[in-house]
Amino acid sequence: MPVVIVESPAKAQTINKYLGSNYQVIASYGHVRDLPAKDGSVEPDADFAMVWENDAKASKRLSDIAKAVKESDKLILATDPDREGEAISWHVLEILRQKRAIKDIPVERVTFNAITKDAVLKAMKAPREIDEGLVDAYLARRALDYLVGFRLSPVLWRKLPGARSAGRVQSVALRLVCDRELEIERFVAREYWSLIATLATPRGDLFEARLVGADGQKIQRLDVGTEKEALAFRAALDQGRYVVASVEAKPARRNPFPPFTTSTLQQEASRKLGLSPNRTMQIAQRLYEGVNLNGEQVGLITYMRTDGVDMAPEAITAVRSMIGKSYAPGYLPETPRRYVTKAKNAQEAHEAIRPTDPFRTPKDVTRFLDNEQARLYELIWKRTVASQMASAELERTTVDILVEAGGRKLDLRATGQVVKFDGFLTLYNEDRDDDGDDEDGKRLPTMSAGEALDKKSIAATQHFTEPPPRYSEATLIKRMEELGIGRPSTYAATLATLRDREYVSIDKKRLKAEDKGRLVTAFLESFFARYVEYDFTAALEEKLDRISNHELDWKEVLRDFWRDFSAAIDGTKELRTTQVLDALNDLLGPHIFPDRGDGSSPRQCTVCGTGTLSLKLGKYGSFIGCSNYPECRYTRQLSAGADQNGEAEGGGEAGTRKLGADPESGLDVTLRDGRFGPYVQLGEGDKPKRSSLPRGMSAANVDLERALALLSLPKEVAVHPESGKPILVGIGRYGPYVQHEKTYANLDKDDDVLAIGANRAIALILTKESGGSGRRFGAGAPAGRPLGDYPGGGSVEVKPGRYGAYVTNGKVNATLPKGMEADAVTLEQAIELIAAKAGKAPTTGKAPAAKKTPAKKAAAAKTTAAKTTAAKKPAAKKKATKAIVDSDEVPFDTD
């Protein structure tokens, strides 16, 4: 019986139904091995030899796969049709060879772009070998990510305390966000005025026209720059006589957008649905792997990691057939539309993301999907169908108006647009990231040349230019794609890493560069400039794509990169702290020390008056301090003065804001900026009472009432039900906590330290005392969600747990794989997970594993004894540098 290897249980279940009982389909649960997170996993001196380590959780599954392969007559590797899928197949095959499970049986590689019966059966008839070019490209990317992470991140730790990590693509994406922040800070607003006339035709129809010329000269948007100029034009327009000079109506067409790629799907899902790129890919993964439709597992969309914009001929035919049956004749063009990708090297020439069956409308499947799945499927379906519909027919009208006023001739213009035939717009229109005024969208009344117009009013309006907007997740992905930085499959992970490292934050759906991120970017620009250059990163991506096309040798690319990169790393060994600080002060000067507007030096200390403020590096990160330390102890955070000029609000010490007086003691309550963040303080003196602001609480929202509440901590919130002693709540070095005698439990991120109730505090303490984490899903945790009956008896539930959600049958608990959401797990998936954890296949009619013979038992006992003896020996101490490696490849989601 042939053994088929796929990534996930859901995919295995669906494909097994298509292939029947003559095949055994087994899930690898994504990647089965990776580079160990320690020095020496990639050895440049040994021609980039790579040491792989099997995933500890995958050992049992790999043993099961090896056993099944030994008893089979063929191995079919059916992982996803991209570089990552090729890598998983390669890893599985390498491990099976190490286990000597592959003897004389043939090994085949098959790929399919959609999990449908036709696609799977067709793929089985066209096997191939593993594509070494794709594997080499994967190895090169993985080695580069490792080398950058393990060699550059430690430099950051030594020279820039508080920095977390650097990454080959991550750091360049961060620079984009930081550069935009710098543009905003350097932006100087410019005043300009617009003049709009409201006019009426002889038939009484009103419309608006804009001043576009005067005395034979064109007037651009910013040309009227003062109120004096604007009022002079308005006075002339008030006295003028208005005549239609010309009316020009031109036909126009708007063509439909191509079907989704990974990038455009992430962008539109962000704009239209408010989904993060990472969440979009998780939902798309489920739609691709299949959902239960009336008892049948069906893949609803094609593969969702792609640069391709075209569709297979049979898919185009099906979409056109659906349009012909569902819409009027004019909506179906005479010939099919073909799209060509603009990307330099489309990822493995995949199809665009499309429904597997266009006749399966969103209305037909909504009841089988959760809300997010239904909305994303509808978006994909509409975009795909619209891509094969007729163009929209428009009419764009331009009316030029001549105004004669006291010997002057002024020109006004009115523009409008009419949709004559909506075409594809009847179904789909793409959103824009930064909408502006759309005057062309207005419809103009009927006019003809020579007609006199009646002036109703003239509006002179003051405007100021605005800085470029911060990137949203959608616009950052778009910009990265334009520059050729990263690849679509990496965008979601890259953005998630920037947020997780706290290098950026999201404010009103826009990415804001945090001080930590700006410091890292400034450091890299100062000492590793080449490796955060956009062109260099794009050129390296192109080389990696050429490796996948068998055009370059992957180790030669690594040698070229390592030669210069290792020299740059070595160049920082003698780098002194003063050199780092000088470079950062120079690059971040406008951000850290904004102009005060009074002619004084922005770096002069406003407390002692003689010291110079500069960036300092401390044990816990960076801060601003005075050069007269320790005589002057003024410190503040990088960007957090009391205001942007570094002056105290309401007088007093810089970085201090008075909130009011404590009604009990009469002492002043102040909000201050310290080197470790904002805090509140009661009174003055050597040891005044202070309290840090808990994470998530904005300094701008702290008033006297909230400050007094913080200063009252720690305070009693409950009494322990067994000991009768108080349970306190407070804020410590590691954040908010509850305490009972010597037992401490951290509050969850959703808990409010000022509003936590007695029941919640008791639950946290009891959970911690019983050996739990003391967090949200400990004692008092919500009940699990029942899924159904387990084949061997008992009921299956999904529950929240200490280390994440898990499924259980009452006897065996199995943690959900990364990316699998608790609210979306099915009974079938749960049974697979429980069975895998229990070390046996679920009850599916297959023969049970053979029992161990006495000889095997003796051998097993001998092996166990040997392991026990080895475990008693003291482990050799080895100093290793632990680094965070931010891979730009995305592990396969196993949901």
Residues annotated as part of the active site:
303
302 CB-contact burial (10 Å; exposed 0-12 / middle 13-18 / buried 19+)? buried
Pair 310, 352: CB distance under 8 Å: yes
E strands present in 541-655: 613-618, 621-626, 635-636
Alpha-carbon span 473 to 277, nearest angstrom: 7
User: Which residues pair with residue 108 across a beta bridge?
Assistant: 76
φ/ψ (deg, to 5) at 197: -105, 130
Q: How many CB atoms lie within 10 A of CB 217?
A: 9
Alpha-carbon span 713 to 60, nearest angstrom: 50
Which contiguous run of DSSP H or E holds residue 113? Answer: none
Q: Which of 259, 267, 174, 256 is nearest to 488 (CA)?
A: 267
Alpha-carbon span 249 to 396, nearest angstrom: 6
Pair 859, 808: CB distance under 8 Å: no
φ/ψ (deg, to 5) at 149: -65, -45
The single-letter DSSP state of residue 343 is: S
Mind giving me the DSSP string for 535-549? HHHHHHHHHHHHHHT
The residue with tokens 């419809």 is: 443
Pair 499, 505: CB distance under 8 Å: yes
Instruction: Give the number of residues written for the chain.
Output: 895
Structure tokens at 305: 């990691």
Q: How far is CA 248 from the centre of its chain?
A: 46
Structure tokens at 354: 């499309």
Q: Which of 651, 603, 655, 646 is nearest to 626 (CA)?
A: 603
Give the HSE-up count for residue 691: Cα atoms under 13 Å, Cβ half-sphere. 24
Which contiguous run of DSSP H or E holds residue 581? Answer: helix 577-592
Q: How far is CA 864 from the centre of its chain?
A: 45
